[in-house]
Amino acid sequence: MHHRIRCSGSKYGIKPGNHHQTVEQTTGGDGTMNLYRNILIPTDGSSTITAAISFALTLSKITGANVTALGVNDESNYAIPGDTTTLDPDTPQYQACEKAVAGVVSMGEEVGIGITSRIIAGIPAQVIIDASGEYDLIVMGTAGRSGINLLLLGSVAQKVIRFSTCPVLVIRGDSPAHETYSRILIPTEGTGITENAISHGLEMARIFKTDVTALSVISEKKRRILGPAEKFFSRENAEKAVTEVVRNGQKLGISVTPVVLSGQVAQEVITASTNHDLLVMGTEGRTGLEYVRMGSVAEKTVRHARCPILVVRGVDTALPEARKNKKFE
């Protein structure tokens, strides 16, 4: 159980109209509602978080979303977890958290966006996962490509991706800051695993006024479609999947290019990500006491994608039992 040390929610330097936009601006021209009203940025104050902060602020600037910077005073740095010294603002660890969230607040001030700051004591992954239910999107930074395997998979970010109740957007620290996005990639197989990701991908496209590529890959090896029906994923299935994204995009006035390829699924998605600014991918959360994995395709893609990736839990997947029982090891 983590202990909340401080939750300071004051806004900084916001003038009317600078941050919270009108109702018309927080909905689509077709009346669709913005999915991202509350955004969480976990921060440790390192340079790897800068690109993530920039993305979150850009998204907030367009949508009027509230942004919270979260610093976690890591209890594992103390001799005794839960030690009351974690509540002491004079400790170096606590002051490091204050500096980290202050850095996000400062970046927000520069663009006229108020940031809510929170400092919580606990285990970083658990604190972020516990907080995820209060937010619509978590934006996290990671090390550059050379360090992504060590930092992302098997560490805090992977646990957050596995167990978060809201979508998680992961941005490498060496990614260039974008004010605009020209193309979004949405891999799809037309099942509940990718349904939510399609909705979020199209919403991002609507927000940034960009085009979309709907990609479906026919595996070199036959693979079954996840779901109640025992059927193999064929070219017909793939074409139906991308066509559905095209139709959904048309309803929102978004241009969607359908692409069907043959090959290894993860590799084709990773290769396609090179020519896109954002990859939006659905993931399956395994249920029961079985250890939760994202699935080999999503796991490989998160490791090696050449652009920021937004990971969204599928509609057919329940919250993993491990998360319910607070088992994040």
Query: What tens digit of pLDDT does each residue of 185-214 get?
Result: 999 988 888 899 999 999 999 999 999 999
Q: Name the residue with higher pLDDT: 180 or 93.
A: 93
Q: What percent of the chain has pLDDT over 70?
A: 68
* Residues 27-70 pLDDT 10s: 444 444 579 999 999 999 988 889 999 999 999 999 999 999 99
Instruction: Determine how many CB atoms are found less than 10 A away from the CB of residue 306.
Output: 16
3-state helix, strand, coil in the chain (%, to 5): 40, 25, 40
| DSSP category for residue 27 | B
d(CA 237, CA 188): 10
d(CA 35, CA 38): 9
Name the superfamily (CATH) of residues 3-172. Answer: HUPs (3.40.50.620)
d(CA 60, CA 39): 8
d(CA 158, CA 141): 12
Fold of the domain built from segment(s) 183-324: Rossmann fold (3.40.50)
Task: Provide the residue ranges of all domains of the chain, joining segments of one domain with +.
Answer: 3-172, 183-324
Residue 257 pLDDT exceeds 80 = yes
Q: Name the residue with higher pLDDT: 8 or 162.
A: 162
pLDDT of residue 23: 26
pTM, rounded to two decimals: 0.80
* Residues 271-327 pLDDT 10s: 999 999 999 998 875 433 233 334 567 777 888 888 999 999 876 544 444 444 545
- Let me know if the fold of 3-172 is the same as that of 183-324: yes
Between CA 73 and CA 263, with CA 160 as vertex, the angle to 5 degrees is 150
pLDDT of residue 90: 83
- Nearest Cα neighbor of 212 from 250, 239, 238, 176 is 250
